[in-house]
C-alpha cells in the first residue's frame, strides 16, 4: 500500500489564512457594529431604537456571574486560544483532517458573527484595575477585543473544535505518550474555556452558547456533502454581514449629520438606506444559500429547473433574478479571463495575433473530432466559435459541405456560446450547417461522483434519438460536448459517451480511458479521482443493464 503524500506547507498556510482572515474580518466588523450601537445611544437627539435591523445591546449576566471572582493570571490561558488556532493547522496529519479543521472553524466563525449581528450583547461588569505583571496582557486585550460579541463565545467553540480535531496525535506508537498528549490537550482547552469568565470578558451564558455552537457545527460538518457547500455558505453569510453593516454605517452617517434643520429628513433617509441595504443583504444571502443547497442535494432535474436556459442556451430572466450575485461573479471572471487572453495574444505592437486566436472564444488546443461511425464524429471543447467548429470539422475528412452539429451544453451557471455560434454560421456562406442543442446542467467543480448516472444515460439516449433522425449519408454529424467553464467537464462526458457506445464503436475501454484522455486531450488534466473508473464501468454496461444504475 502506497503512503499518501504529506500535506504541503502551502496547503496548511493557505487554509490558515482563510480561517484566520475570515475571523479577523467578520469578528472586527461585528464588534465595531455593536460599539457603534452603544455609542449611538450617547448621541443627543439620535434615536437608535428606530433603526433596522437590531439596535438593542443585550446583557446576559446571571446571579452566578456576580459571584465569580476575577483572576488576573487567567489572561495567560486566555491568550492560548489564538496560538492553538494557528498551530493546529500544522498539527493535522491528512488532507481530510485539514479540510475538517478548516470547515469547522470557518462555519463556527460565520454562525457566531451572524448571531453577533442579530443578537448583539455586551459584558456588563467592570474589570478591576490591574497593576501587576498581567497588566500588559489586559491592555492588549482591551485594544483588540472590545466588550461586545459576547454570545456565543468563540473562544469556547474554537477550544472544543480544536480539541476534537487534534484528539488523534501525530504518529506516536507509545500509548504513554499518546495519553500524555491527550491530557495536555484537554488541560489546555479546559483552561482556555474557564479563563473566559475569570478574566471578566464573558458571562456563563456566553460559555454555554459556545458549547451549543460547537455541537451544531460538528453535526453540520458531518452532514455536508463537499467543501463547496461551505464555500457558498461562506459567501452567503459574509456578503450578508458586509452589505447589512455597510448600510448601517452609511445610514448612521446621515442620521448623525450636523445639519440640525434637516434632522427629520436625515433620519428618514437614513432609515430608507439601511432598509434597502438590509433587503439587498437578504437577497444576496438567500441567493447563495440556494446554491449551497443545490450542491448539498445534487439533482440534474433540480439544476435544470433552477438554471433554466432557452433553446439558444441562454440563461432565462428568472434565473438571473434568482442567482444574479453568482452569475455576475462568473461573468466578471469570464471577462477578466478573456482580457488576460487578449493581452497574452498581443505581440507587443498592439495587434491581435489572429493566426493564434481567430475569436474571443479561443481555447488552448485545436480540437480533433473523434470518429464514431460512418459520418458521425464527436469532440469536446471548452468554448464555442465558428473558427472552433471549422477546425473541428476539418479533421473529419468529410466529402460534403453539409454538416449537422449537436451541441451538448454542460454548464449550469453560464450561458452557452451556442447562440453566438449559430449567428456566425448563419452569416457564413462557407458551408451548410444545421444545429441542435441539448442541455445537461452541471454545477461548477461538482464531482461527477455526485451526479445521478441515470441523468447522464438519459442525455445519451437523447443523443441516440437525434442521430436516428439524421442521415449521415447526406451530411456529416459532429457531436460537440461543450462547457464554457473549462475543458475537463466536456472531456469527461465525451469519455463517458464513448464508454456508453461500447467496444464495437470505439477503442476506449474501462482500463485504458485515462491513457485515451492523455492521448486525445493532453490539456484536460483528468485523473481517476475526477473521473472514477466505477463511473466509466457503469456507462459501459448502461445500454444492456440499466438496472445497475
What are 338-382's pLDDT values in tens digits? Answer: 554 445 445 444 443 444 433 333 333 456 788 888 788 898 887
In a domain, 162, yes or no: yes
Q: Are residues 414 and 271 in the same domain?
A: no
Q: Are residues 285 and 196 in the same domain?
A: no
In a domain, 145, yes or no: yes
Cα of first residue to Cα of last residue in the chain, in angstroms, is 30
What is the per-residue pLDDT for 91? 92
Q: Which of 223, 250, 266 is the last residue of a domain?
A: 223
Q: What is the dihedral of CA 221, 222, 228, 233, to 10 degrees?
A: -30
What is the per-residue pLDDT for 452? 87
H or E, element range at 235: helix 227-255
What is the per-residue pLDDT for 395? 56
Q: Are residues 292 and 405 in the same domain?
A: no
Q: Are residues 393 and 537 in the same domain?
A: yes
Q: Which residue has the higher pLDDT, 239 or 144?
A: 239
The chain-wide mean pLDDT, for the chain, equals: 82
Strands (E), 180-292: none
What is the per-residue pLDDT for 2? 42
Res. 462: pLDDT tops 80: yes
Using DSSP's 3-state secondary structure scheme, residue 171 falls into: coil
Q: Are residues 432 and 288 in the same domain?
A: no
Q: Are residues 190 and 247 in the same domain?
A: no
In a domain, 425, yes or no: yes
What is the per-residue pLDDT for 282? 97
Q: Are residues 412 and 489 in the same domain?
A: yes
In a domain, 323, yes or no: no
Residue 16 and residue 312: Cα distance in Å, rounded?
44
CATH number of 497's domain: 3.90.190.10
Q: Are residues 201 and 253 in the same domain?
A: no
User: Does residue 491 have a cis bond before it (omega within 30 degrees)?
Assistant: no
pLDDT digits (tens, 9 = 90+) for 394-424: 555 555 567 788 899 999 998 887 877 777 6
Residues 6+ apart with CB under 8 A from 520: 368, 370
Q: Are residues 35 and 61 in the same domain?
A: yes
DSSP 506: -
pLDDT digits (tens, 9 = 90+) for 327-350: 998 888 766 655 544 454 454 444
Q: Are residues 59 and 191 in the same domain?
A: yes
What is the per-residue pLDDT for 387? 46
Which cell numbers hold the place of 88? 493546529
What is the per-residue pLDDT for 359? 37
In a domain, 376, yes or no: yes
Residue 388 and residue 363: Cα distance in Å, rounded?
8
Q: Are residues 444 and 396 in the same domain?
A: yes
Q: Which of 177, 197, 223 is the last residue of a domain?
A: 223
Q: Which of 297, 323, 338 is the last residue of a domain?
A: 297
Mean predicted confidence (pLDDT) in 237-241? 98
Q: Are residues 261 and 126 in the same domain?
A: no
In a domain, 109, yes or no: yes
Do you know the residue count of the chain? 549
What is the per-residue pLDDT for 412? 92
Our count of domains for the chain comes to 3
In a domain, 318, yes or no: no
Q: Note down the domain range covering 383.
A: 370-548
Other CB atoms closer than 10 Å to residue 8's CB: what's the count?
10
Is residue 19 within 8 A of residue 105, CB to CB? The reply is yes
Position 103 confidence tier, pLDDT thresholds 50, 70, 90: very high
Strands (E), 390-486: 402-411, 432-442, 476-482
Using DSSP's 3-state secondary structure scheme, residue 257 falls into: coil
In a domain, 3, yes or no: no
What is the per-residue pLDDT for 425? 67
Output the DSSP codes for 338-401. Answer: HHHHHHHHB-SSS-B-TTT-SSSS--SS---PEEEETTEEEEEESS--HHHHHHHHHTTT-S-S
pLDDT digits (tens, 9 = 90+) for 263-307: 555 667 778 888 999 999 999 999 999 999 999 998 889 999 999
What is the per-residue pLDDT for 362? 39
Amino acid at each position: 500500500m502506497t503512503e499518501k503524500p504529506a500535506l504541503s506547507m502551502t496547503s496548511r498556510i493557505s487554509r490558515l489564512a482563510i480561517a484566520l482572515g475570515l475571523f479577523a474580518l467578520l469578528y472586527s466588523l461585528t464588534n465595531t457594529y455593536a460599539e457603534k450601537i452603544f455609542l449611538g445611544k450617547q448621541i443627543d437627539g439620535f434615536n437608535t431604537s428606530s433603526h433596522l435591523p437590531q439596535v438593542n445591546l443585550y446583557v446576559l449576566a446571571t446571579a452566578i456571574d456576580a459571584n465569580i471572582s476575577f483572576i488576573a493570571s487567567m489572561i495567560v490561558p486566555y491568550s492560548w486560544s489564538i496560538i492553538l488556532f494557528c498551530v493546529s493547522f500544522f498539527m493535522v496529519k491528512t488532507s481530510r483532517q485539514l479540510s475538517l479543521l478548516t470547515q469547522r472553524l470557518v462555519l463556527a466563525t460565520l454562525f457566531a458573527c451572524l448571531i453577533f449581528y442579530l443578537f448583539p450583547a455586551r459584558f456588563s461588569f467592570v474589570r478591576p484595575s490591574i497593576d501587576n505583571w498581567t497588566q500588559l496582557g489586559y491592555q492588549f486585550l482591551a485594544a483588540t477585543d472590545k466588550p461586545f460579541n459576547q454570545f456565543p463565545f468563540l473562544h469556547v467553540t474554537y477550544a472544543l473544535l480544536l480539541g476534537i480535531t487534534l484528539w488523534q496525535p501525530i504518529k506516536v506508537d507509545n500509548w504513554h505518550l499518546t495519553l500524555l498528549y491527550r491530557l495536555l490537550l484537554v488541560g489546555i482547552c479546559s483552561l482556555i474555556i474557564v479563563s473566559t469568565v475569570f478574566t471578566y470578558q464573558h458571562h456563563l451564558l456566553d460559555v454555554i452558547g459556545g458549547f451549543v455552537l460547537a455541537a451544531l457545527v460538528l453535526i453540520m460538518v458531518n452532514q455536508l456533502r463537499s467543501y463547496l457547500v461551505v464555500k457558498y455558505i461562506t459567501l452567503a453569510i459574509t456578503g450578508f454581514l458586509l452589505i447589512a453593516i455597510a448600510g448601517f454605517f452609511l445610514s448612521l452617517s446621515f442620521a448623525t449629520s450636523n445639519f440640525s434643520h434637516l434632522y427629520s429628513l436625515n433620519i428618514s433617509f437614513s432609515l430608507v438606506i439601511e432598509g434597502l441595504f438590509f433587503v439587498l443583504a437578504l437577497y444576496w444571502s438567500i441567493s447563495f444559500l440556494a446554491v449551497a443547497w443545490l450542491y448539498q442535494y445534487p439533482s440534474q432535474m433540480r439544476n435544470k429547473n433552477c438554471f433554466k436556459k432557452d433553446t439558444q442556451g441562454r440563461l432565462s430572466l428568472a434565473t438571473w433574478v434568482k442567482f444574479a450575485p453568482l452569475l455576475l461573479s462568473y461573468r466578471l471572471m469570464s471577462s477578466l479571463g478573456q482580457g488576460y487572453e487578449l493581452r497574452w495574444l498581443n505581440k507587443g505592437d498592439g495587434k491581435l495575433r489572429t493566426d493564434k486566436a481567430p475569436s474571443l472564444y479561443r481555447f488552448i488546443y485545436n480540437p480533433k473530432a473523434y470518429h464514431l461511425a460512418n459520418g458521425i464524429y464527436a469532440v469536446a471543447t471548452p468554448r464555442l466559435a465558428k473558427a472552433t467548429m471549422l477546425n473541428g470539422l476539418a479533421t473529419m475528412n468529410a466529402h460534403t459541405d453539409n454538416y449537422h452539429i449537436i451541441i451538448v451544453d454542460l454548464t449550469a451557471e453560464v450561458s452557452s456560446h451556442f447562440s453566438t455560434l449559430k449567428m456566425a454560421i448563419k452569416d457564413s456562406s462557407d458551408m451548410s450547417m444545421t444545429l441542435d442543442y441539448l442541455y445537461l446542467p452541471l454545477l461548477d467543480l461538482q464531482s461527477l461522483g455526485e451526479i445521478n448516472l441515470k441523468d447522464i444515460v438519459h442525455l445519451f439516449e437523447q443523443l441516440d434519438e437525434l442521430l436516428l433522425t439524421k442521415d449521415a449519408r447526406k451530411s456529416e454529424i459532429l457531436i460537440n460536448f461543450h462547457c464554457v467553464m473549462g475543458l475537463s467537464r466536456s472531456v469527461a462526458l465525451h469519455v463517458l459517451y464513448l464508454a456508453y457506445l461500447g467496444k464495437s464503436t470505439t477503442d476506449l475501454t474501462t482500463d485504458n480511458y485515462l491513457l485515451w484522455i492523455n492521448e486525445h486531450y493532453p490539456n484536460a488534466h483528468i485523473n481517476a479521482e475526477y473521473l472514477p473508473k466505477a463511473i466509466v464501468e457503469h456507462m459501459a454496461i448502461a445500454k444492456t443493464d440499466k438496472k445497475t444504475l
